[in-house]
Amino acid sequence: MNYKLYIGKISGIKIFIHWTFVLLIAWVVYNDIKAGLETADILWSVAFIFSIFGCVTLHELGHSLTAQRYHIKTRDITLLPIGGVASLESIPEKPKEELFVALAGPLVNIVIALILLPFVTWSEALEGLGQVGGSNFLLSLISVNITLAMFNMIPAFPMDGGRVLRALLSYKLDRVKATRIAASIGQVLALGFIVLGFYGNPFLAFIGVFIFLGAQAEARQVKSRALISGVRLRDVMMRDIPLLDSKLTIRDAAQQLLAGQNKTFVVMNEGRPVGTLSHPEIIKALGEQGENASLASAMDKDLLYLDAELSLESALKELQRSKKHLALVSFQNTLLGAVDIQNVTEFLLIRSAKQK
Ligand SMILES: [Zn+2]
């Protein structure tokens, strides 16, 4: 379920509202009606929700526009009932950049609060917080912005405060270690949110779950990126490529599947690669075209060549982008080997075992 409504574009960044946002409005209106509020007050509280999410959007734009300064693009900003998410294409790796990008969001909320402050009247200040209405709207919005800034600065990685913490740790420690510490603290705090959420605000429990899973995913990602950093495709590739002659049939290919561990083959014609044939392609051809079908009719003729000097990280991106099972590895027009997901996984397992 990923239905979201496009609401506009700011500085090239698309902004979306997630459909569950409707549930939040419905929930607020339902509670207002249950509390016996008048229509005008219900409208005020709905207007308040929209204003909050306006501020959340500005908060996310704070992150995105700061990231833009470091040449990091934002895919989009999505507003969820539990807050906004700016999907940056990558996370800044330099501690200083991550620090500034993380701080920019909460800073926006502080600036909003400071801008609104002079407009608060004495009567509004005396009215105080409580049920939001026309008489205390600004004051409530200021208090929300201060709360947003403070809440986001809780060092629960991957929340802003947690990113600040990792950035600060990264000045002294390597990134994997810094992330591990920040993620562990984040997960402990997330469990606290979940427990508190059960006794009070259910949104807090949701946020806790998000933080817990987010911390886990990012710690893993940083670790695997560290594992592959500095690795060239040349170091990973298979030098013995499983080959099949293009004159063979699907029956021969199926026999090769049974005979060994190979799952993807390169189809050769007069010494030159002409296609690749993967396990699912062989099974599909066997079912649809029968045993005597030619390999040429079943193979993927669109070959992906990667340079042996390419970094493993870029190679993986290429494989993912092209949705190929296997890529051929060449250097200066000479075919050296091939790479597929299995042998990359094998490489990572070996490397991570060595590092323990
Ligand atoms: Zn933020």
Ligand 1 ion local residues (Cβ < 5 A): 105, 152, 160
Q: Say if residue 242 is in the same domain as residue 111.
A: no
On whether both 201 and 247 belong to a single domain, the answer is no
Q: How close is the Cα of 185 to the center of ligand 1, in Å?
A: 18
In this structure, what token pair is assigned to residue 54? Answer: 């306006």
Distance from residue 99's CA to the centre of ligand 1 (Å): 12
Domain count, the chain: 3
List the catalytic residue out of 38, 60, 98, 309. 60
The answer on 168 and 149 residing in a single domain is: no
Q: What is the CATH number of the domain that holds 294?
A: 3.10.580.10
Q: Are residues 25 and 68 in the same domain?
A: yes
Alpha-carbon 136 to chain mean position: 38
Answer with the one of 153, 186, 201 that is the final residue of a domain: 153
Same domain, 23 and 125: yes
Q: Ligand 1 centroid vs 6 CA: distance in angstroms?
A: 21
Nearest to 285, CA basis, from 314, 244, 338, 239 = 244
Q: Tell me, in angstroms, the distance from the centre of ligand 1 to residue 328's CA.
A: 42
Could you tell me the residue range of the domain that residue 284 belongs to? 233-355
Q: Is the dihedral of CA 60, 117, 39, 148 positive or negative?
A: positive
Q: Give the Å distance between the CA of 104 and the centre of ligand 1.
A: 8
Question: Is residue 177 domain-shared with residue 262, that is, in the same domain?
Answer: no
Q: Is 93 a catalytic residue?
A: no
- Give yes or no: residues 220 and 298 share one domain: no
In tens digits, the chain (356 residues) has pLDDT values of 568 889 899 888 999 998 888 888 898 899 889 988 888 888 998 999 999 989 999 999 999 999 999 999 998 999 887 788 888 888 888 999 999 999 999 999 999 999 999 888 777 767 666 677 777 888 889 999 999 999 999 999 889 999 999 999 999 998 889 999 999 999 999 999 999 988 888 878 888 998 999 898 888 888 888 888 888 988 888 888 888 998 999 999 999 889 888 888 899 998 888 999 988 889 999 899 988 888 888 898 899 999 999 988 888 888 888 888 889 998 888 888 898 887 888 888 888 787 66
DSSP conformational letter for 294: B
Residue where one domain finishes, among candidates 214, 229, 244: 229
Identify the CA nearest to 134 among candidates 118, 145, 148, 123. Answer: 123
